[in-house]
Amino acid sequence: MARRTGRRPGNPDTREAILAAARTAFAERGFDAASIRAIATAAGVDPALVHHYFGTKEELFRSTMNVPIDPAELLPRVLAGGPDGVGQRLVRTFLGVWDSPAGGAAVALLRSAVNNEWTARMMREFLVTQVLRRVLDHLDIDPAELPLRGSLVATQMLGLAMTRYVVRLEPVASADPETLAAAIGPTVQRYLTGDLSA
């Protein structure tokens, strides 16, 4: 995980103003269309200050959502080794994060997204731009199929999170990660690279 040693915590009011402007921009315009420049203008600060406090646009986005992990650092492990077995590696990595102390924040985010349209929109943007897009970009997939494949993966991963951490249905709630990776990995693999017609 990147330690932002080079960055100063900065003025708390300024930080909060930037975060508030960023949340609005990401939720209303989406991650791609929201610009650091526009966020800085809305917060009444110089764009350089946004970068100084929060780093890249990706890092700012994760800060607005209190996401303590960086998909850009985890996903290379999932993608190394090519398309074969990527489903199982994705499930294993996902469980590694959600089972760890960082998982508490993820569960909190999931709970919030369910009852708050605004958080749901942020979660959607996060899933698509920070996770699914990175995975799908590394696989040799027909671009026309990317959205459906990506959102099918989301159905399985969101459902795994809901069942294991929120509804806590046994035995999924306390199964060891390897059992789940073996059972669920092939589902994710098929959604990513397999035949989707019945």
State yes or no: cis peptide before 68, omega within 30 of 0: no
Please state, in angstroms and rounded to a whole number, the distance separating the CA atoms of residues 98 and 4: 23
Determine the interface stretch with a second copy among 9-17, 38-46, 49-57, 116-124 (rule: CB under 8 A): 116-124
Sequence-ordered list of residues with C-beta below 8 angstroms from that of 51, at least 6 positions apart, any chain: 36
Among 33, 48, 80, 196, binds a second copy (CB under 8 A): 196
Q: How far is the CB of 114 from a second copy (least distance, A)?
A: 4
Among 139, 152, 177, 193, binds a second copy (CB under 8 A): 152
CB-wise, 50 or 109, nearer to a second copy? 109
Among 51, 134, 138, 190, binds a second copy (CB under 8 A): 190
Among 64, 88, 93, 130, binds a second copy (CB under 8 A): 88
Q: How far is the CB of 89 from a second copy (least distance, A)?
A: 11
Please state, in angstroms and rounded to a whole number, the distance separating the CA atoms of residues 54 and 23: 13
Determine the interface stretch with a second copy among 35-43, 59-67, 95-103, 107-115 (rule: CB under 8 A): 107-115
CB-wise, 75 or 123, nearer to a second copy? 123
CB-wise, 9 or 171, nearer to a second copy? 171
CB-wise, 45 or 128, nearer to a second copy? 128
CB-wise, 136 or 172, nearer to a second copy? 172
Please state, in angstroms and rounded to a whole number, the distance separating the CA atoms of residues 12 and 49: 13
Q: 186 exposed, middle or buried (CB, 10 Å; 0-12, 13-18, 19+)?
A: middle
Please state, in angstroms and rounded to a whole number, the distance separating the CA atoms of residues 105 and 98: 9
What is the CA angle 105-27-118, rounded to 5?
60
**Structural contact between residues 64 and 72, judged by C-beta atoms closer than 8 angstroms:** no
**Tokens representing residue 65 in the block:** 């959502």
Footprint of a second copy (CB under 8 A): 88, 110-111, 113-115, 120, 123-124, 127-128, 147-148, 151-152, 154-160, 162-164, 166-173, 175, 179, 181-187, 190-191, 196-198
